[in-house]
């Protein structure tokens, strides 16, 4: 049986009760049915880049989605199977002159997981290109085609993080058109900037043994933001709300890059204060211990509760 530490980018997590792999759309539908019939404690897994599994997951059933396929439907409409590698797909799209996701180059994971937290980086979010998706609903057992509106996308959030349980089997995108040269240039610039921050996977670099950002950037009222030091970075959102930099809050709560608790195997990345990393021998418990410590320090210093971005499973 496969240990989940070998299937996740932060490389922690124990051995589940059951593990299934879906290679085709038909297999995905059949195995999902089997999964749900046999267990209430289940999860679907893509690239494992936004999950922290507990050390003990002995009652969990896991369905690993490895379905592949890119279908050009014409006029910038493209249907992609859920298990397709996201960052490979971004480069494929840039080569084709399909515009709208070039700034999301280098983000690990799969196409099917991208809508779940509405992945975003460098001013782009996947939600602006998602036209519709196929969803197998856990509650009803039905296959549904959800429109962009049905997904209720917002900052690192969607209906799928708000309790709508099930499986995204494919995603249909609507892209704009731009020269492939300029899209590839943009994508490569982004990849370079991300690499410098340890935000592109590299098995040799422990700073990338992470889930990327461990906390979302807090969104608070302007009134509350005025109580913070003037140098705290702030970006205006709508309705008198502002977004703060979680990385700034962590560093100014006294936790510098590379910080660790005692001799724990979990540290803050040496390149980015927002990433919690595994130096090779961390347990899930150590990852969460550091996360809780960061939350406490930021709360004590600024009165802000940092919210974890990855999905914490089995704790
Ligand atoms: C180094 C690094 C950098 C990162 N940078 C960014 C960034 O810049 N911006 C950003 O937004 N994210 C970033 N991430 C987070 C992560 O890459 C994304 O959230 C990605 O979309 C997760 O994809 P995955 O296939 O690995 O999902 P997984 O980790 O396998 O799963 C994540 C969640 O989605 C669910 N899920 C997965 N597939 C499906 C499906 N087909 N249907 C329904 N539910 C599903 C899982 O059950 C789980 O709850 C980064 C992560 C790392 C490690």
| pTM of the predicted model as reported, rounded to 2 decimal places | 0.97
Does the residue 163 lie in any domain?
Answer: yes
The answer, yes or no, to whether any atom of ligand 1 lies below 6 A from the CB of 12, is: no
Q: Which residues of the chain have pLDDT under 50?
A: none
What's the mean pLDDT when you consider all of the chain? 97
**Whether residue 185 sits in one domain with residue 252:** no
pLDDT given at position 11: 98
According to the model, what pLDDT value does residue 239 have? 82
From the CA of 200, give the closest atom in ligand 1: 1
Which atom, in ligand 1's list, is nearest to the CA of 114?
A: 21
Asked whether residue 217 falls in the same domain as residue 283, the answer is yes
Same domain, 89 and 113: yes
pLDDT score of 244: 98
Residue 257's CATH number: 3.90.78.10
Model confidence pLDDT, tens digit, residues 41-70: 999 999 999 999 999 999 999 999 999 999
| Pair (188, 99) in one structural domain | yes
Same domain, 92 and 186: yes
Number of domains in the chain: 3
Residue 238 is predicted with a pLDDT of 82
**Which residues carry out catalysis?**
156, 213, 309
Domain with 283 in it: 206-300+308-313
Q: Check whether residue 177 and residue 82 sit in a common domain.
A: yes
80 in the same domain as 56: no
Q: Which of 170, 196, 222 is the last residue of a domain?
A: 196
- The verdict on 89 and 189 lying in the same domain is yes
103 lines ligand 1 (CB under 6 A): no
- Ligand 1 centre and the CA of 155: distance in Å? 14
Please indicate, yes or no, if residue 74 is contained in any of the structural domains.
yes
- Cβ of 45 less than 6 Å from ligand 1: yes
Are 78 and 182 within one domain?
A: yes
What are the residues whose beta carbons fall under 8 Å from the beta carbon of 109, sequence distance 6 or more? 46, 47, 48, 49, 50, 85, 86, 119
pLDDT tens digits for range 85-142: 999 999 999 999 999 999 999 999 999 999 999 999 999 999 999 999 999 999 999 9
127 in contact with ligand 1, CB cutoff 6 A: no
Ligand 1: nearest atom to the Cα of 169: 41
Task: Identify the CATH number of the domain in which residue 29 sits.
Answer: 3.30.43.10
174 shares a domain with 88:
yes
């Amino acid at each position: 049986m496969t240990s989940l530490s070998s299937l996740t980018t932060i490389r922690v997590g124990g051995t589940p009760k059951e593990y299934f792999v879906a290679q085709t759309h038909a297999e995905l539908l059949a195995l999902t049915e089997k999964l749900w019939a046999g267990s209430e404690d289940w999860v679907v897994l893509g690239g494992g880049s936004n999950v922290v599994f507990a050390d003990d997951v002995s009652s969990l059933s896991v369905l690993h989605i490895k379905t592949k396929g890119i279908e050009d439907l014409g006029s910038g409409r493209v249907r992609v199977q859920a298990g397709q590698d996201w960052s490979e797909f971004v480069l494929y799209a840039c080569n084709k002159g399909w515009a709208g996701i070039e700034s999301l180059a280098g983000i690990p994971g799969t196409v099917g997981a991208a809508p779940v937290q509405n992945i975003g980086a460098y001013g782009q979010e996947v939600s602006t290109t998602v036209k519709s998706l196929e969803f197998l609903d856990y509650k009803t057992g039905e296959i549904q085609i959800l429109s962009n509106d049905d997904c209720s996308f917002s900052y690192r959030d969607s209906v799928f993080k708000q309790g709508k349980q099930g499986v995204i089997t494919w995603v249909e995108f609507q892209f704009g058109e731009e020269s492939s040269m300029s899209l590839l240039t943009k994508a490569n610039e982004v990849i370079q900037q991300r690499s410098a921050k340890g935000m592109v996977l590299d098995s040799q670099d422990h700073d990338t043994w992470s889930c990327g950002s461990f906390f979302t950037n807090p969104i608070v009222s302007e009134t509350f933001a005025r109580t913070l030091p003037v140098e705290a970075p702030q970006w205006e959102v709508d309705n008198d709300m502002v977004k703060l930099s979680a990385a700034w809050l962590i560093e100014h709560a006294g936790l510098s890059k590379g910080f660790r608790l005692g001799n724990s195997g979990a540290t803050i990345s040496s390149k980015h204060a927002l990433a919690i990393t595994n130096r090779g021998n961390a347990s899930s418990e150590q990852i969460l211990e550091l996360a809780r410590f960061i939350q406490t320090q930021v709360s004590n210093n600024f009165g802000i509760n940092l919210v974890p971005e990855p999905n914490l499973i089995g704790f």
